[in-house]
Amino acid sequence: MRIAIVNDMPLAIEGLRRAIENTGIHQVAWTAFNGNDAIEACREDIPDLILMDIIMPGMNGVDTTREIMRASPCPILLVTSSVNTNSALVFEAMGYGALDAINTPALTGRRACGLQCPLLKKIAMLNVLTQSGPPGFQSHFNSAQSRGEPLINNSPLVAIGSSSGGPQALATILQSIPHDFHSPIVIVQHVDAQFANGLAEWLSTLSNIPVRIACDGDRPVAGTVFLAGSDNHLLLTEEGTFQYSPIPRDTPYRPSVDVFWQSLEQNWKGAITAVLLTGMGRDGAKSMLSLRQRGAYTIAQDEETCAVYGMPKAAIELDAAMAVLPIDDIVNSLLKKC
């Protein structure tokens, strides 16, 4: 990959440069010390990935991400030492289309970024995600089960999948859900596990109903939002409880919308409304089609209101979405169905 670095600290840029070049498979496309320079550089040379700092003098990483995604869209990974203290800014930048966020790794001394560095693992994952075509992995679920009996139309559940641009889209939906909403909502958002708690807390400040991390053994409860909170996949078991599993291991999406929705198809006995929001890649498209064929109501976010029109587009191309709606209209549809 050709990777650009945006950071106002020369030592950070040099450390990130070495980490990238030492892999032998990636190269530095260009570097920028501020947001304005990054925007100009991106206009002239769009890299495969940008490592973007959040806190910079002048134009911060949020505004820089917004302008790059507007003028010269490309994959952006937020890399900053201040993620935990600036979670609102991180999720705002992700709302404009940043793919994910990670803490700046150790760049000097014995703990300097090596081959097992979380940053390099994240870059490798994003390299797979940004390739064209569907992910090359096989589901561990038995595909024959998808041809079972239609879903029973009671006890409705709302399942939402989202990725890049997702936090802001989720905030828009949860701000409009009334406090007496009578269905559980389960969200699978592509976000590093270390930021899942921060995302749940941020969404809680905006939502009219409680938002919490789904834990092993929990059950979907009406009027509560559950957020996948692990780099492992969230599942619904035969007993109707949540469980995390590392399997399948060969999917680039962690947690995966497809994996969770396939478990819903097998184990949720009530009605399902599945919503696929903004995001890069194709996660959720195939399982949405399978859910629709089983009687679920399926919604894809429209292109105009998506920060990244990847996942909903993939679902629409498969004819998996029964409705294609702007983000502001999705809530009205949920209220009618649930």
Give me the DSSP letters along 137-161: ---SS-GGGGGSPPPPSSS-EEEEE
pLDDT at 134: 38
Look-up of token digits 């693992």 = 121
The pair of structure tokens assigned to 119 is 């940053």
Say how far residue 177 (Cα) sits from the centre of its chain.
Answer: 21
CB 331 within 8 A of CB 173: yes
State the Cα–Cα distance between residues 279 and 311, nearest whole angstrom. 5
Report the C-alpha gap between 235 and 232 in whole angstroms.
Answer: 10
CA-based radius of gyration for the chain: 20
Write out the CATH class of domain 2-129.
alpha beta
How many Å apart are CA 314 and CA 335, to the nearest integer?
Answer: 25
Please report the pLDDT score of residue 124 as a whole number. Answer: 86
On whether the CB atoms of residues 148 and 186 are closer than 8 A, the answer is no
Question: Is 26 noted as a catalytic residue in this protein?
Answer: no
* Cβ 282 vs Cβ 134: under 8 Å: yes
Q: In angstroms, how far is CA 326 from the centroid of its own chain? A: 18
Tell me the average confidence (pLDDT) per consecutive run of 10 residues in the chain, 338 residues long. 95 91 93 96 96 93 95 91 74 89 70 65 81 39 36 72 94 94 94 87 92 96 94 94 93 91 95 95 95 96 94 96 96 87
pLDDT value at residue 111: 52
283 noted as active-site residue? yes
Q: What is the pLDDT of residue 82?
A: 60
pLDDT tens-digit map of 210-257: 999 999 999 999 999 999 999 899 999 999 999 999 999 888 888 999
Q: Which residue is catalytic, options 87, 163, 183, 263?
A: 163
Q: In what order do the strands lie in the sheet with 27-32?
A: 27-32, 2-6, 49-52, 76-80, 100-103
Distance in angstroms (rounded) separating the CA atoms of residues 68 and 203? 25
Inter-CA distances, 41 with 2, 64, 98, 188, 300, Å:
13, 12, 17, 34, 34
Domain ranges of the chain: 2-129, 149-337
Cβ-defined contacts of 244-251 (< 8 Å, 24+): 244/216, 247/140, 248/137, 248/138, 248/139, 248/140, 250/136, 250/137, 250/138, 251/135, 251/137
Cβ–Cβ < 8 Å for 213, 193? no
**Which helix (H) or strand (E) is 77 found in, with range?**
strand 76-80
DSSP bridge pairs for 189: 162
Catalytic residue among 258, 283, 290, 302: 283
What angle, 0 to 180 degrees and rounded to 10, lies between the N-to-C axes of helices 166-176 and 87-95?
A: 100
Identify the architecture of domain 149-337 in CATH. Answer: 3-Layer(aba) Sandwich (3.40)
Which of 146, 183, 190, 263 is catalytic? The answer is 190
Residue 144 CB burial class (10 angstroms; 0-12, 13-18, ≥19): exposed
C-alpha–C-alpha distance, residues 330 and 130, integer Å: 27
Does the active-site annotation cover 163?
yes
